[in-house]
Structure formats: C-alpha cells, structure tokens
Chain A
Amino acid sequence: MSSFWKDTARDVRLMKRGWRWGHRAQVPRSAEPFVPPATTTVFDNEWSRKPAARAVREVAQAGLEAVFRSQVKTQVEGLDVLERLDGPVIFVANHASHLDTPLILLSLPDEWRRRTAVAAAADYFFDTWWRAVGSSLVFNTLPIDRRGGALANAPGEVLADGWSLVVFPEGTRSKDGTVGRFRSGAAYLAIEYGVPVVPIAHRGTYAAMPRGVSWPGKDKAGGRRQLTVRFGDPLRPTDGESVREFAPRIRSAVSRLLDEDATDWYASMRRAAEDRTPDPAGEEIAEWRKVWAATESPDPEPDKIRAWRR
C-alpha cells in the first residue's frame, strides 16, 4: 500500500508540474495556431463599485499595500498633476507585469485610488467567477474585451459615473520588456466622454516580475527590487482631433515620461522638442538584448554619490 501512496504522490507531482497548478495553463508553441477562439463567459461586476464592495476593497488594498511594500521599493514622481484635476481621468500606462496595476493604484493618493477602476482583459480576469470576484474586490477591475467586442459594463458608463480608469493600451504584458503598439481605446474614450488622459510611465516591473513569474523577485544583493512610476501632464483632445491623431500623442507622452524617468526632465523635453525621444519599442536588435536590458532594475538616483557600495 505504501507504494500506492508513493505512486499517487508521484502522479500528483507530475500533474502539478505538467499542468502548472496555481498558474495559468500554457499551450505548447506548435499548438498555438490550433487553439480555439476563447468563448469567455464574462462575469458582471457592477456590484464591485457599490459601497459594501468598496469597504471590503479598502481593507484588501491595505493588506495588498503591506505585502507590496515588503517585496518592492517604489519611487513615485509627478503626482502633483492630480492636484490640478478634479474630475475623472483616464490613466494610460505601459504594461510589463502584473505588478503594474498595484504599483499605479498604490501610488495614487487615497481619494483618487478609491475612485479608480482598472480596465482588465475579460478573457483573462473574468473567465471564472473566482477570478472575477478576486480581481474586482482587490483592484476594482472592469472587464474589457481586447478583441473589440461589446461588454455589459461599458467603460464609458463607469467614467460617466465619475470613476477614473486605468488603461493599458498595449492590451497585454510586454514579452520582452519593451513597449508595444498602443491600441486606440483610451483615445476613443477620452474623446467620447471628454475626460483628460494622464500618461504614466513606470519602469522596473518587468525586471521584478515578468510574464510567467507569480511573485516579485529579489535583486542581486537579495534586496527588494526598485520600481519607479512617473505621472505626466494631462492630455486633452483638441477641438476636432480624431482618435487616430490623439492616440499617437498619448504614446508619445508615455515615451517621453519613460525617457524622463531614465534621464532627467529637461533633457527629455529637449529630445522631445527635437523629435528625438527614444522609441520605447526598442531598436531592431536581438530579442535577448531587449530582455537583457529590461531585466535591469532602474536606478532612481544614478548620479548620487554613495558613501557605501551597494
């Protein structure tokens, strides 16, 4: 009988490893063309913006913050832009990791954080009831169809109700740490509902917790990884500006902020004026080099003279 339990344990281990229990299932690369289109059941989460859910979220986010701060270091810049705004806004950020959402939410002042929802892929965060409930309660997520279909909870209605919205226009986490193509959903919402766009650039989340990793890693010295996040001046569509024209402006603003975060404000402004802002999509170089660069945590104060070597 002992061999039965031994074999059972071996089977369980094999299945746990093979089917990545606790993680999302993966499809072998050669089978990817044969994956059927997802027929996602989207779970409605309008309840998550009611007072009771907001109370639960307050507690959940307090717990989240404690865990988050214990695992990563953050440096937040540019929050003063929010002082000049009072209505709902659309926060637009680059997307490299599951850490992006807590980083942005926990960087916001409390009064903003409590009234901010996060646009999340319906096929990823709302395909099971428990994922929908979990992400709604903790992050105030809002299901978005990345393939462009209509959903019951139109983000516009949420904006109209006075909620701000975090949007990751790339639609998915970066595979190599660089910034991908921006879809035009955020620009469309801003024009349609007349709300400003606040660009956000953050760095370091890819290095801390890239795709396929479920917990933030440590740096070489075993310390917490550094994350930086920078809020930019709000962008408003000009009269008659189309979605096609506004969307690239948003991406340029995020690019400039990334440049600013890596260098300094004035230098980044000079480069922007001369249209020399580095493309965050990266150069045409081997993928490994992009990944290599992105796995380096940002140094928020590169020129600081240190008394002690780190």
Chain B
Amino acid sequence: MTRPGFVLEVDDRTPPLLVHEGLGFRLEEFPQGTRVIYPPESLPTVPDVEEAIRESLENPVDSEPLRELMFPGMRLTIAFDDLSLPLPTMKAPDIRGRIIEQVLTIAAEKGVDDVEIIAALALHRRMTDAEMRHIVGERVFRSFAPSGKLYNHDAEDRSNLEHMGQTEKGEDVEINKRAATSDLLIYVNVNLVAMDGGHKSVGIGLASYKSIKHHHNAKTMVHSRSFMDHKHSEMHSSAWRMGRLIGEHVKVFQIETTLDNEVFGKPYDTLLKREWEWSLRDQATVLGLRRGLAVAPQKMRHKMFHDLRSNYGLTGITAGAVEPVHELTVQRVHQQQRVKVEGQSDVMVMGVPYLGPYNVNSTMNPILAACMGLGYYFNSYLRQPVVREGGVAILYHPLDEGFNTLTHPSYVDFYEEVLADTTDPALIGPKFEEQFATDPWYVHLYRTSNAYHGVHPFYMWYWIAHALDHLGDVIWVGGNPKAAARMGFRSASTLRDALEMASSTVGPSPSITYLRNPPHLLADVR
C-alpha cells in the first residue's frame, strides 16, 4: 500500500529533519509550525518490465503497432534521453536500453537495415562511451557504436541539421537532419518529472541553438509557471508548436516511461524515509554517514555520492502519438509526486543535493546549485509557487565545489565575467549570450570534448529567472559567502541566522515551508 504525500507540521514530537546540502546533509531542527512537504511513497512497479514494454509497443496510443510502422528499406532513427535523466543514474539495466533492445528486435524481424541511434542531448555535453553503454546496454552499444551508428547529437554540425520551417509565432524549427529525414523517428524517454517528455523530447533534445534560443530565454522562462505544468509553461507551449510542425514532416513514435521514487539504493535509502520512522539502524546509518563525510576529503565524498546508483522501478510505459502518450505520462508522474498544499508561505526552504541534471559525473558548481534550487525545486509546483510573491527562499548548499573545466568551461567565464557585470537574466541575454553561444573555442569543446555548450550557463540563469522575479530575497545556509554574493545572494551559517536575515523581508515570525526533496515531489499549491 502506497502512502500518499502529505504536509507535516513540525511540532514538539518532530525529530530533526534531513536536509541535503551538496556532498553531504544535515539534520535540521525547524521552528515549530514549519510545514514540510513529503511526497507519496513509491507506487507499485509493473510486475514484468519486458512484458510491459512489449505490450506498449504492440498496443500504442493513437498509433499503429510499432511492428506495422516498420518495413524493409526504411530509414529508422531511435533517439533517447541523455544522462541528465534519471537522477541519479539508474542501476543497470537502464530502462532505455531495455526498450531500445525490444525496438531493435522488431526492426530486425522486419528487415530494417538503416538504423541509427542518437543521444538527444541538445546543448548538453557529449556522453562518454561508458556513459552511453550504460544507458543503451552492451548489446546495443556493440552492434552500433563501432560503426558510428550510435552517437551523440551534435547541435553545431551544420551538415547534419535540417531547418523544417517556422512556427506560426516565427520560431525556427531546426533539428537533427538524420532524425528529420527518417521514415520513422522513435523517441525513448525517461519521464522523471512532469516537465520531461512530450514535444520537448524531439523539439528540444534534437534541436540546434538556433531553434532552442526561441524558448530558452529570460522572457519565456519568467512566464513558464511552472515548467512542471506544460499547459501553463511558455517554454512548453513553444516546444509544442515546434513539435507539431516536426510532426508534419516526420512520423514520431513516442515512448515514455515513468518511475517510482526509489531515488537511492542501500545504504542511502534511509535518506528517503520519513525521519520519525527511522529505526535505530537508520539512525546509526545517518550518524555514521555524517561523521564519515565530515572526515572524508572532498574527492572521496564526491566519489561516494556520484557512484550511487538509483533503484528506480518502472511504474508505467506508454507508446504512440506524442500528445496522448504524454497526457497519460503526466497523470502517472502526478500520482507519484503530487502533494496538495494549502496556501503559500513567506519562506521556502530547500536543500540542494549533490546532483542535478547537468553535473552527472561532474561537479555542482554554484551556478548549477542555483539552478537546481531556484530552477528545479522552486518550480516544482502546480498552480502557484510554494512561497508567496516577495517571499524568501532559503537554500542549503556549500557552493564550494568549484568548476569542472572539462565539462563546464564556459561556466567559468560566465561566473567571472557575466555575473560580475550583472545578475539580471533579462540583461545578460542581450549583452552576452550571442558571444558565448558562438565562441569558436566553446563550440569546439562542445563538439569534440565533453563540454556543455558555451551558451549553457545562460540557460541555467534563465531557469532561475522566474524565481528571481518572484522572490524578495535568497539566502544560502552554509554557502560560500563570496560565491553567494557573486550570484547576487546572501549567505548565512545557520537556519536561525537565515531567518533573522529574512525577517527584514518577511517579518520576525514568517510561515515556513520546507520541501523534503528528494524523493521527488510536486507541490500542488491551492
């Protein structure tokens, strides 16, 4: 029996609550009356994953069975979500690999020779062979990678981009040429949160900068309220317009999967449990982890966390036409993550963990930490933000991991040059974006190394534009004061100090809501 999510009100019986902060976590004693949002427990998973995949491919929604869409001599392209999903990386076998194997089994039976498999990473970094192999599985990797038929999408390869036209709002639609000129494009999704999937998959995952810039900008992001609600998100509206245009040119067969909330495997699964239900063993585990992390060097802590593999189970899989498939997916994600919350609060507290979509096997630099907290967690709502307009966000993260110059080279310059000049998302775009996006060195690193695109840090800053527009103050507990100040925020050593600092904005006894995330949650604020 899955217990629903609920809102806890901290009282005298409430033990200290776990708050993530980068490569560690703390136990925080929240003021009495603080609301804490706990997501529902994991939904039951499908009893037989292989059978569920087979069933979805044979009985798709609003589409012929996959088998009937294939024929000898066709051009078949399979695209899949990159390593930014799920978080943390799934224990092998990854669900995408299992799906792709079944798709390829059908393709082989139908005599399809021309097959290419593309990691739809948009402007994310190229994945390494090992990362790619982990996702698609050894069998698929060995069959396609050596011959160059399994590869990362290259948004800067002009020879392999197809301009498909403009939407009714004048948005350029330019995607991977191979995908655009296929007889069938199959997209394999992992829908970890409600913003994933739908027309965003092909329309963004396989697109170029020219196309993406239409919705990845400060203006659109401020009006995406929220990203987790595609019907009220400007970014998704733009992606939907683009997706429908793409659909006029190429047949897209969408496969979407939803996962339960088993974010961590043992022994870290304790971190997912509700604190007052911790057994003595759980308490000993937490105490041991905390003390171990306290003496471990940064490198070891990084390894401890980044070697973690999630225990996600499949709660559902749907295939077929993009929009009806996505509707069913969103319902399942909501079922897993939605929590009803009555009213907004003055202060919102978030613990930013060690991992976000853009630092898998890399470091959580201050910009990514800001994006994770103020971009993803802040936007994990339906209807209205958890915090009222003019309220305060208190985040936990040390902001001390520095920058990984292999994966995030342009972030360093963004931090040193752009943020030193202005932190206003509306200003940095016109002034600096083009320069970073077209810088030949960044383009070179994106195409040949494992670097995020030069423009990527701008997108992180645009992600937080809605939060910056909405909030009166942002305070980082335990955050490096210099890093916080560079980003236009303040830092405090303790929650008590942070609340004291926030009192100038929200008064001395504000209402507080803490998002107990992970496990993933979506606050439905009434």
Interface residues of A (CB under 8 A from B): 4, 7-8, 11-12, 14-15, 18-19, 25-31, 33-34, 36
Proximity string of chain B (5-42) to chain A, C-beta cutoff 8 Å, 1 when within and 0 when not:
01111110111100000000001010000000000000
* Contact present for B13 and A11 (CB under 8 Å): no
Note all chain A residues with C-beta closer than 8 A to B13: 26-29
* Contact present for A11 and B9 (CB under 8 Å): no
User: Bound state CA distance, A21 and B10, in angstroms?
Assistant: 19
User: Bound state CA distance, A18 and B14, in angstroms?
Assistant: 7
* Contact present for B15 and A30 (CB under 8 Å): no
The yes or no answer to B295 lying at the interface (CB within 8 A) is yes
Which of A8, A11, A14, A25 contacts B276, CB < 8 Å?
A25
Note all chain A residues with C-beta closer than 8 A to B29: 14, 18
* Contact present for B276 and A34 (CB under 8 Å): no
Which of B278, B291, B295 contacts A19, CB < 8 Å?
B278
* Contact present for B274 and A31 (CB under 8 Å): yes
User: Bound state CA distance, A31 and B287, in angstroms?
Assistant: 24
Q: In whole Å, how far is A47's beta carbon from the nearest beta carbon of chain B?
A: 26
Note all chain B residues with C-beta closer than 8 A to A11: 27, 287, 290-291
* Contact present for B287 and A30 (CB under 8 Å): no
Of B7, B11, B15, B295, most buried by chain A (CB within 10 Å of CB) is B15
Which of B1, B277, B278, B295 contacts A4, CB < 8 Å?
B295
* Nearest-neighbor residue (CB-CB) of A5 within chain B: B291
* Contact present for A28 and B3 (CB under 8 Å): no
* Contact present for B283 and A8 (CB under 8 Å): no
Proximity string of chain B (407-437) to chain A, C-beta cutoff 8 Å, 1 when within and 0 when not:
0000000000000000000000000000000
The yes or no answer to B294 lying at the interface (CB within 8 A) is yes
* Contact present for B3 and A36 (CB under 8 Å): yes
* Contact present for A28 and B287 (CB under 8 Å): no
* Contact present for A28 and B9 (CB under 8 Å): yes
Note all chain A residues with C-beta closer than 8 A to B472: none
Interface residues of B (CB under 8 A from A): 1, 3-4, 6-11, 13-16, 27, 29, 274-278, 283, 286-287, 290-291, 294-295
A-B contacts, 10 of them at CB < 8 A, read A8-B291, A11-B291, A14-B29, A15-B16, A15-B27, A15-B283, A18-B27, A28-B10, A28-B13, A33-B6
Of A8, A14, A15, A28, most buried by chain B (CB within 10 Å of CB) is A28
* Contact present for A36 and B274 (CB under 8 Å): no
* Contact present for A34 and B291 (CB under 8 Å): no
Identify whether the interface residues of A are mostly helix, strand, loop, or mixed.
Answer: helix
User: Bound state CA distance, A25 and B14, in angstroms?
Assistant: 10
Q: In whole Å, how far is B295's beta carbon from the nearest beta carbon of chain A?
A: 6
Note all chain B residues with C-beta closer than 8 A to A14: 16, 27, 29
User: Bound state CA distance, A19 and B277, in angstroms?
Assistant: 9
* Contact present for B8 and A18 (CB under 8 Å): no
Give 16 A-B pairs besides A4-B291, A15-B283, A34-B4 with Cβ atoms closer than 8 angstroms: A7-B291, A11-B287, A12-B287, A15-B286, A18-B15, A26-B13, A27-B13, A28-B13, A28-B276, A29-B11, A30-B6, A30-B7, A30-B9, A30-B11, A31-B8, A34-B3
Note all chain A residues with C-beta closer than 8 A to B9: 28-30
Note all chain A residues with C-beta closer than 8 A to B276: 25-28, 31
Which of B1, B8, B278, B283 contacts A28, CB < 8 Å?
B8
* Nearest-neighbor residue (CB-CB) of B14 within chain A: A28
Q: In whole Å, how far is B54's beta carbon from the nearest beta carbon of chain A?
A: 34
Q: In whole Å, how far is A15's beta carbon from the nearest beta carbon of chain B?
A: 6
User: Bound state CA distance, A296 and B276, in angstroms?
Assistant: 33
User: Bound state CA distance, A29 and B291, in angstroms?
Assistant: 30
Note all chain A residues with C-beta closer than 8 A to B16: 14-15, 18
Q: In whole Å, how far is B286's beta carbon from the nearest beta carbon of chain A?
A: 8
Which of A19, A30, A31 contacts B283, CB < 8 Å?
A19
User: Bound state CA distance, A36 and B4, in angstroms?
Assistant: 11
Given known contacts A15-B283, A28-B14, A34 and B278 CB-to-CB distance under 8 angstroms: no
User: Bound state CA distance, A19 and B282, in angstroms?
Assistant: 11
* Nearest-neighbor residue (CB-CB) of B35 within chain A: A30
Of A11, A14, A18, A31, most buried by chain B (CB within 10 Å of CB) is A31
Note all chain B residues with C-beta closer than 8 A to A29: 9, 11, 13
Q: In whole Å, how far is B11's beta carbon from the nearest beta carbon of chain A?
A: 5
* Nearest-neighbor residue (CB-CB) of A1 within chain B: B295
* Nearest-neighbor residue (CB-CB) of B6 within chain A: A34
Q: In whole Å, how far is A72's beta carbon from the nearest beta carbon of chain B?
A: 28
Q: In whole Å, how far is A204's beta carbon from the nearest beta carbon of chain B?
A: 26
Note all chain B residues with C-beta closer than 8 A to A15: 16, 27, 283, 286-287
* Contact present for A4 and B11 (CB under 8 Å): no
User: Bound state CA distance, A278 and B189, in angstroms?
Assistant: 70
Q: In whole Å, how far is A251's beta carbon from the nearest beta carbon of chain B?
A: 31
User: Bound state CA distance, A33 and B11, in angstroms?
Assistant: 15
Q: In whole Å, how far is A3's beta carbon from the nearest beta carbon of chain B?
A: 9
Q: In whole Å, how far is A32's beta carbon from the nearest beta carbon of chain B?
A: 9
User: Bound state CA distance, A8 and B11, in angstroms?
Assistant: 25
Q: In whole Å, how far is A16's beta carbon from the nearest beta carbon of chain B?
A: 9
Listed from nearest, the 10 A-B pairs whose CB atoms lie closest are: A18-B15, A26-B13, A30-B9, A28-B14, A18-B16, A28-B13, A30-B8, A28-B11, A19-B15, A27-B276
Q: In whole Å, how far is B92's beta carbon from the nearest beta carbon of chain A?
A: 32
Note all chain B residues with C-beta closer than 8 A to A19: 15, 278, 283
* Nearest-neighbor residue (CB-CB) of B28 within chain A: A14
Note all chain B residues with C-beta closer than 8 A to A30: 6-9, 11
Q: In whole Å, how far is A301's beta carbon from the nearest beta carbon of chain B?
A: 39
* Nearest-neighbor residue (CB-CB) of A20 within chain B: B15
* Contact present for B1 and A36 (CB under 8 Å): yes
